[in-house]
Chains A and B, each alone.
Chain A
Amino acid sequence: MTKPLEGLLVLEFAQFMAAPTAGLRLADLGARVIKIERPVKGEAGRQIAIRNIFVNGDSLVFHTINRNKESYAADLKDPEDLERVKKLIKQADVITHNFRPGVMEKIGLDYNSIKAINPRIVYGVVTGYGTKGPWALRPGQDLLIQSLSGLAYLSGTSNDGPVPFGLATADMICGAHFVQGILAALIKRSKTNTASLVEVSLMESVLDLQFEVITTYLNDGGQLPQRSSVKGNGHAYLSAPYGIYQTADSYLSLAMGDLFKIGEAIGIDLQTLYPEKESWFTHRDEVMTLLGDQIKQKTTAEWLTKLESAGIWSSEVLTYEQTLQHEGYKVTGMQQQVKLPDGSSLTTTRCPIRINGQKLYSDVAAPRPGTQTDSINAQFNLI
């Protein structure tokens, strides 16, 4: 099957996470993505590890984000290298970077300079906080963006203080928006045949992620989110029972639903205790505590039998060990292997989008810095 972005050439000057995850998505959708990296050391993300795990000289995180890409080594401060890169840019459809404002201008690879040599380029930039204002030059780092954007006041309980989302959420969501902006600009180019500048920032993306609750805040008289004080609270703006409860042997998730029906299945007469629907919200903590005390008495499996047969939205709470062995996960075929140069392989996940019923796999591992320099020089006549 041909993938939708086949024939598209993307040059990725970007580092770390947000923009390279966008590069990965474009690659999985069929684009040819070439990382432009400084010789030998490559992009800084190669050294950023979690649990200090390195594979074949690069962090496992780098491998996860940069599979299915090529690498071209160039020292952008060296005039000859820069000339070659510019020749390559002339033949590219998209370039991406996430340097702080001013850096590409200094090298001469800013939007206006590039547009002069490639009038059809889609030029994508990721920043932390946009290009103006007092935060523009601040480090665009995930935890800092979460902290400044109010996101940290949505999870956990009211006794916890701020609780960040335990993943690079700002990076991931910003990368997802970046892909959309780049593709939209390419669609526009198909009509106008002109260049475009696409800009996203971690901050705007995390505000967009909160658009439902921020819109509520803007129109309810400015009441800040009130998390429940009950452990397992699932959402500051939703009424009881929304959350995770401890059972006799494990945990149980209960989503939104008819509280009378839920009470009936759990064995509490909530219709008598809380007849007004409004009280499901105003007395959320009381209701959740009542439910919690009852739910503790039986196992997760016992509850699920009762709840699911009553059509109540509920589930068990799984760990990776359980999820990844579950038939419900396996049947998605999300797992895939990439091949390392020494013949061994690395297990990771695939692109989450299916096209014409096909899952998009690729066994191409992340490149070492400059692996494809010679072949790219030859193919694009750069020397």
Chain B
Amino acid sequence: MKPLEDYLVIDFSQFLSGPSAALKLADLGARVIKMEKPGTGDICRHLYTSNVIINGESSVFHAINRNKESFAADIKNETDKAQIWELVKQADVVMHNFRPGVMERLGFDYESVKKQNPTVIYGEISGYGNEGPWKDKPGQDLLLQSLTGLTWLSGNAGGPVPMGLSIIDMLAGNHLAQGILACLLRKTISGEGALVQVSMLESAIDFQFEAITTYYYDGKLPERSENNNAHAYLGAPYGIYKTGNGYMALAMGSIPQLGTLLGCEAMLVYTDVSEAFHKRDEIKAILANHLLTNTTDHWLDILQKADIWCADVLTWDKLMQHEGFTSLDMLQNVIMSDGFKYQTTRSPIRIDGELFTSPKGSPKLGEDNATIINQLINKA
């Protein structure tokens, strides 16, 4: 039995943050119904800028929205609105990621929904919260990275370097899933409903809580190393290095010990532990030059025997051929209602040894209207 079996989630959200939270709930067993605008649907179906299209829609939409149903309804049309109300009244969870004020105008804000469904768990994700000078700014990942100081942590010293994924969307989605689950748990005990709110801004700050707490303490901005930077707050050798035939990651080891193991005499002089941080640029430069003189396997073999934390640096093709990856069973094949199949990843959580896979691919816009009307609306 999946933990969220019998739970109904009505999801008004679009793009990545909200829908990625709904995917987590779906994989844990909930029935997730996407509420979509007739004709266009979730903007992510088409307006994503990546040029990879699978079966007529963006690859990214298929990744985020598998294992869900789609109900097409015009929230501004009275007949449709009545149907939406029937669904919302039965829902355990209602969620959205509209900008502040939009759901109030549409009439499905928490206070209105709570009147009809007092034990609902109502989740929302905003860009920057509901107040302050940023509240109407677009809640877009790169902008959030840029406004929260995140771009000064990756890459080498110099200009800002964004993290090359929609990391803040992902974090906010995960935080919303956490809040919803915590309140669903309480509901099993006390029957209480709740409003759960997350913003991309607060999620981005939380992600950086170590670095920001450090800034509050010493008032010093992060300083990335000149080369081979992997963490602005850590000393040598922490980083990724080029070798004679590829790259390797090195995450620990005292400098003289590494010098001895790797046969690099120039490193032996750094006997004072604090030098690993204060002289990290020159130490990393010496190490980087030295590691070029032999292969990744050669170095890893020496270091792993000495229990030094190190690893190869893989691209996806190499990773997916590796037994370390295949033994995780991380990939699954899903099938859409028209028979189209695609491969994607599964939920990262296991409970009682069970992998939460599901063969259901992403829904076509409105493909579940008839079923949902039969099962949930006419019944009511």
Residues of chain A whose beta carbon lies under 8 Å from any beta carbon of chain B: 4-5, 7, 25, 29-30, 50-53, 55, 60-61, 63-65, 129-130, 132-135, 138-139, 141-144, 146-156, 160-169, 172-174, 176-177, 179-181, 183-188, 190-192, 196-201, 203-205, 207-220, 222, 224-225, 227, 231-239, 242-244, 246, 251, 253-256, 278, 280-281, 313-324, 326-332, 334-335, 346-349, 351-357
Assembly CA distance A232 to B145 (angstroms): 13
The proximity string for B residues 173-206 relative to A, scoring 1 for CB distances below 8 Å and 0 otherwise, is: 0111111011111101100001111110111011
Asked if B251 contacts A141 (CB within 8 A), the reply is yes
- Please indicate the chain A residues that have their CB under 8 angstroms from the CB of B2 in the complex: 188
Asked if B165 contacts A4 (CB within 8 A), the reply is no
Assembly CA distance A291 to B174 (angstroms): 35
Q: List 27 A-B contacts (CB under 8 A).
A: A5-B185, A5-B186, A30-B182, A134-B322, A134-B323, A147-B240, A149-B314, A154-B163, A161-B242, A162-B240, A167-B211, A169-B163, A185-B351, A199-B353, A207-B330, A208-B345, A211-B345, A219-B54, A219-B62, A227-B164, A236-B164, A313-B143, A315-B137, A323-B149, A327-B132, A334-B205, A357-B195
- Please indicate the chain B residues that have their CB under 8 angstroms from the CB of A200 in the complex: 348-350
Which of B198, B209, B221, B251: most chain A CB closer than 10 A?
A: B209
B115 to chain A, nearest CB (A): 15
Assembly CA distance A152 to B142 (angstroms): 18
- Please indicate the chain A residues that have their CB under 8 angstroms from the CB of B238 in the complex: 143
Given A50-B234, A352-B206: 11 more A-B contacts, CB < 8 Å? A141-B251, A203-B328, A205-B348, A212-B60, A212-B165, A212-B166, A234-B164, A320-B149, A321-B221, A355-B194, A356-B194
Asked if B161 contacts A349 (CB within 8 A), the reply is no
Interchain pairs with CB closer than 8 A, number: 470
Residues of chain B whose beta carbon lies under 8 Å from any beta carbon of chain A: 1-4, 16, 24, 28, 48-52, 54, 59-60, 62-64, 128-129, 131-134, 137-138, 140-143, 145-155, 159-167, 170-171, 174-179, 181-186, 188-189, 194-199, 201-203, 205-218, 220-222, 224, 229-234, 238-240, 242, 247-249, 251-252, 274, 277, 309-317, 319, 322-328, 330-331, 342-345, 347-353
* Given A161-B247, A353-B197, CB of A184 within 8 Å of CB of B212: no
Asked if B63 contacts A212 (CB within 8 A), the reply is yes
- Please indicate the chain A residues that have their CB under 8 angstroms from the CB of B182 in the complex: 4-5, 29-30, 183, 353, 355
Least CB separation from B345: chain A residue: A211
Asked if B178 contacts A173 (CB within 8 A), the reply is no
For B178, give its contact among A25, A148, A233 (CB under 8 Å): A25
Assembly CA distance A204 to B350 (angstroms): 10
Least CB separation from A239: chain B residue: B49
For B314, give its contact among A147, A214, A326 (CB under 8 Å): A147
For B209, give its contact among A163, A323, A331, A348 (CB under 8 Å): A348
Asked if A155 contacts B155 (CB within 8 A), the reply is yes
For B345, give its contact among A207, A239, A349, A353 (CB under 8 Å): A207
Least CB separation from A214: chain B residue: B345
Least CB separation from B59: chain A residue: A216
Which of A184, A208, A238: most chain B CB closer than 10 A?
A: A184
Assembly CA distance A357 to B134 (angstroms): 18
Asked if A166 contacts B224 (CB within 8 A), the reply is yes
For B59, give its contact among A29, A215, A315 (CB under 8 Å): A215
Asked if A133 contacts B323 (CB within 8 A), the reply is yes
Asked if A143 contacts B251 (CB within 8 A), the reply is yes
A26 to chain B, nearest CB (A): 8
Asked if A166 contacts B230 (CB within 8 A), the reply is yes
- Please indicate the chain B residues that have their CB under 8 angstroms from the CB of A349 in the complex: 205-206, 209, 212-213
* Given A156-B155, A169-B167, A353-B178, CB of A212 within 8 Å of CB of B327: no
B149 to chain A, nearest CB (A): 4
Assembly CA distance A217 to B208 (angstroms): 29
For B343, give its contact among A4, A196, A218, A330 (CB under 8 Å): A218
Asked if B351 contacts A355 (CB within 8 A), the reply is no
Least CB separation from A142: chain B residue: B251
* Given A180-B28, A212-B60, A318-B149, CB of A198 within 8 Å of CB of B351: yes
- Please indicate the chain A residues that have their CB under 8 angstroms from the CB of B203 in the complex: 352
- Please indicate the chain B residues that have their CB under 8 angstroms from the CB of A161 in the complex: 240, 242, 247
Asked if B161 contacts A156 (CB within 8 A), the reply is yes
- Please indicate the chain B residues that have their CB under 8 angstroms from the CB of A52 in the complex: 274, 277
Asked if A53 contacts B171 (CB within 8 A), the reply is no
